[in-house]
Amino acid sequence: MPNEDKPPPEPLASAPGFLLSWNGQRIARKFAEAIEPLGLRPPHFGVLTLIDASPGSAKRELVERSMIDASTMVAVIDDLEERGLAERRPDPADRRRRAVYLTPQGRRALERGRKAAIATAKDVFGPLDERELATFVRLMRKIAGAD
Amino acid sequence: MPNEDKPPPEPLASAPGFLLSWNGQRIARKFAEAIEPLGLRPPHFGVLTLIDASPGSAKRELVERSMIDASTMVAVIDDLEERGLAERRPDPADRRRRAVYLTPQGRRALERGRKAAIATAKDVFGPLDERELATFVRLMRKIAGAD
DNA sequence: TATTGTTATACTCTATAACTATA
DNA sequence: TATAGTTATAGAGTATAACAATA
């Protein structure tokens, strides 16, 4: 994408919605670049995080907690399994269900991804002081309906 | 996208970068839906805005002020021209150059798009009071490097 | 030789719908 | 009949690289 690091032009840069979308795209792209050397793309990292938070989740549960649809989720879990980062285990109580777990390698990859996320955030949110960053998070959670 | 309006799951919802990306995607999608009845997609609206701000811009100048690459920009201007919203005029001083202008129809479409943007922002930023919204814009401009 | 604009093509990502197995 | 999972396919959106015209 051209001009990724250039400030957005007026009058768009005055519109709150445009600013939100622009900065969102920017950090998403930067994060994607940061984890590319790990062989991961953002959906991989997101799903690793969700599995870690609820080990043994079924695919359907992961879909419910994400913005990833069912068929894409299959592909993401396939990728993770191929790379030895996660594994599906059959559920004896319901043989349709396949519980998903992280491998030790998966946990290491997640840790590396987290470091990349922190580094990216440090870069993008660098212009804000600590207090402003806290305010930012509070407002973003409010907008997201997380509180 | 599934779960578009559901809050993001923890622990992702505590990460500033993830929040920014999530909310950015959410408002971009909502805005795209809002202008779809106008026959416009977000890049169309963005370029209409840029042309309006600098009538007679060349394609290359529009590329410089946006995150849209050259070949996509051609397609966007083609679309706008087909729909009678913009027109290319040859530049007598430099016959390689084609200056782009809005038509009266284009100005009307831009106005409708602006109303959609305002309505979308009202929806997404609804949880914030006026003072919080002002703070949000200030912080976002800082992050974007717009100040 | 550099620059503007364009076209043709390929690629990435995601979504839709049909299918299998189990409940 | 409903649900979990999967696969095959198609689509939108974007980027890459080659090309034509003019400076």
> Which residues, in sequence order, are CB contacts of A71 under 8 Å at separation 6+?
none
Q: Does residue B1 register a pLDDT over 90?
A: no
CB contact under 8 A, B31 and A21: yes
**pLDDT (average), residues A58-82:** 97
Among residues A37, A18, A22, the alpha carbon closest in space to that of B124 is found at A18
For residue A1, say whether its CB is under 7 Å from any atom of strand D. Answer: yes
Q: Is residue A147 part of a domain?
A: no
Q: Is residue A2 part of a domain?
A: no
Q: Is residue B7 part of a domain?
A: no
For residue B70, say whether its CB is under 7 Å from any atom of strand D. Answer: yes
Covered bases, chain C (protein CB within 7 Å) = 3-9, 13-17, 21-23
Q: Is residue B124 part of a domain?
A: yes
Report chain A's mean pLDDT, rounded to a whole number. 95
Q: Does residue A59 register a pLDDT over 80?
A: yes
- pLDDT single digits (tens) A81-111: 999 999 999 999 999 999 999 999 999 999 9
What proportion of chain B, given as a percentage, has pLDDT over 70?
Answer: 99
Phi/psi-derived region of residue A9, left when phi > 0, alpha when psi is between -120 and 50, beta in every other case = beta
Q: Is residue B36 part of a domain?
A: yes
State how far the Cα of B72 lies from the Cα of B75, in Å rounded to an integer: 5
DSSP A3-67: TTTSPPPTTGGG-HHHHHHHHHHHHHHHHHHHHGGGT--HHHHHHHHHHHHSTTB-HHHHHHTSS
**Cα distances (Å, whole numbers) of residue B77 to A19, A34, B43, B102:** 23, 33, 10, 11
Number of domains in chain B: 1
A89: CATH: 1.10.10.10
Say if CB A62 and CB B9 are below 8 A apart: no
User: In the structure encoding, which two tokens stand for residue A140, read together?
Assistant: 């973003």
Q: Is residue A118 part of a domain?
A: yes
State how far the Cα of A66 lies from the Cα of A115, in Å rounded to an integer: 21
Helix (H) / strand (E) containing A86 = strand A86-90
For residue A88, say whether its CB is under 7 Å from any atom of strand D. Answer: yes
Domain region containing A16: 12-142
Which of B41, B136, B147 to mutate against chain A (most A CBs within 10 Å)? B136
Q: Is residue B1 part of a domain?
A: no
pLDDT score recorded for residue A118: 97
Query: In this structure, what are the phi and psi dihedrals at residue B2, rounded to the nearest 5 degrees?
Result: -75, 155
The reported pTM is: 0.94
How confident is residue A2, by pLDDT bands cut at 50, 70 and 90? Answer: confident
pLDDT score recorded for residue B2: 75
Q: Is residue B132 part of a domain?
A: yes
Task: List the single range of A3-7, A32-36, B110-114 with lowest mean pLDDT.
Answer: A3-7
- For B11, the closest of A49, A69, A141 (CB atoms) is A49
Q: Which residues in chain A touch residue B144, judged by CB atoms under 8 angstroms apart?
A: 7-8, 13, 19, 22-23, 26
- pLDDT single digits (tens) B29-78: 999 999 999 999 999 999 999 999 999 999 999 999 999 999 999 999 99
What proportion of chain A, given as a percentage, has pLDDT over 90?
Answer: 90
**pLDDT (average), residues B114-140:** 97
pLDDT score recorded for residue A147: 83
- At residue B40, what is the residue type? L
pLDDT score recorded for residue A20: 96
